[in-house]
Structure 1
Amino acid sequence: MRLLSVLLFCAAWLGICWLGMMTVHESGHILAAVASGGTVTKVVLSPAAISRTDVSPNPWPAVVVWLGPLFGVILPLLIWSLIPRGWTWPRRLLQFFAGFCLIANGAYLGIGSFEQVGDCQEILRTGSPIWTMWLFGIVTIPAGFYLWHRLGSPADLLKEDSPVDMKAAWLAVFALAMIAGTAWLVSPQ
């Protein structure tokens, strides 16, 4: 029963991390667009699609495109660092989330630069050299794995003193359903 609750919890938490990462990333684009005098015309934030923010007019496209991944790694690290050390379980969850955001954003730019997907194409179009995306990935991906490594073994979740039980698992599934449902409803199809 403990294995089932851990698997259910981890699957739900990965889903929450994915949607949370996309939300933080797109928030960076939105903040940069608004701060630069641009107009956000569309935000796609759906569990069934890769997130996207459309800005037109976009007076500072380089700033808008870069702030997505930058904000996408800085905000989770900042939030994690503000959680008191005594709050062990929430701090560990946010440490995992921060690591997830570092790895996802780093892989998106570092590896995505080869196929010029999404933001990578816009970064190149605005004049940033490709090596800047590689550097971003080289810095953020290992940093994310470092945060994960410091969490210890995933097998620790199976121990008797682990806070992951069936109640926590169903709570995570419920949270994922609420977040995904909200994203689905507010995002244009």
Structure 2
Amino acid sequence: MLLTHEIGHLVGGWCGGATLVDVDLAPWRMPYSIHHPDPHPRLTLWAGPLLGVIVPVGTAILVQGHKTRRQTKQQTQQPTRRQAWRKWAWLVADFCLLANGTYLAIAWVACDRFLDTPRMLAAGVSPIFIAAYCVVTVSVGYVRFRNDCVVFFSRRESSNSSEGSSIY
């Protein structure tokens, strides 16, 4: 999530003609990018959360691909490697959906001037747009990610419990 989100800021800044001054994408600390001058700060700032969702969801859609009749019949049988990749891709995409919305909502409450939401408000983004983005991404992301986790972990538990019961 952090990588696609921050790369979104980089792409937005590049598209808007901003000059990149500093960037840090290290996974062990909070990534950031600083653009100065930035002629279109709203584009740079919105590109992070938008591409932070569009890239993972688009990747999951591409991984899902087109299903044939044969593949549909196989779904009732043993899961294939491709089906496992599909589930993982959607798990990651749904997490990114939830995480991007949650990040903007928490940044709004935290009021730290270096986080995205206060910077968006300072750049003139309407709070209604930010709130709408947060409501949609958090609600849809939560429901989808929760369902992904329930399916993923319940399958693991049921397969483990059936293996354990067959031993005795």
The TM-score with structure 1 as length reference comes to 0.68
- Tell me the equivalent position of 1:93: 88
Letter of the aligned partner of 2:105 in structure 1? G
1:33/1:55 contact within 8 Å kept: yes
1:47 CA displacement: 2.5
Paired with 2:126 and 2:109, the residues of 1 have a C-alpha distance of 12
Alpha-carbon RMSD across the aligned residues, in angstroms, is 1.8
The 5-angstrom pairing of residues 102-121 of structure 1 reads 102-117=97-112, 118-121=115-118
Q: Distance in 2 between matches of 1:109 and 1:132?
A: 11
Q: Which amino acid aligns with 2:140?
A: A
Calculate the TM-score normalised by the size of structure 2.
0.76
Q: Where in structure 2 are the equivalents of 1:107-146 lying within 5 Å? A: 107-117=102-112, 118-146=115-143
Q: Distance in 2 between matches of 1:116 and 1:133?
A: 14
After superposition, what is the alpha-carbon deviation per residue over 1:114-163, rounded to whole angstroms, capped at 9, x for unaligned?
222301111011111223222111000121123224432523123449xx
Q: CA deviation at 1:45?
A: 1.5
Q: Which structure: larger Rg?
A: 2
2:41 matches 1:45: no
Task: Kindly provide the CA deviation profile for residues 41-60 of structure 1, in whole angstroms up to 9, marking residues without a partner as x.
Answer: 22211222111111112110
Distance in 2, matches of 1:39 and 1:123, equals 18
Q: Distance in 2 between matches of 1:144 and 1:41?
A: 33
Percent identity (aligned): 28
**After superposition, what is the alpha-carbon deviation per residue over 1:104-123, rounded to whole angstroms, capped at 9, x for unaligned?**
11011123212223011110
For structure 1, the residue ranges without an aligned partner over 5 or more in a row are 1-20, 162-189
Separation (CA, whole Å) in 1 of partners of 2:44 and 2:152: 38
- Determine the structure 1 residue equivalent to 2:61: 81
Is 1:110–1:136's contact at 8 Å kept on the other side of the alignment? no
1: CA distance, partners of 2:89 / 2:119: 30
**Greater relative contact order (CA < 8 Å, ≥ 6 in sequence):** 1
Gaps of 5+ in 2: 72-81, 161-168
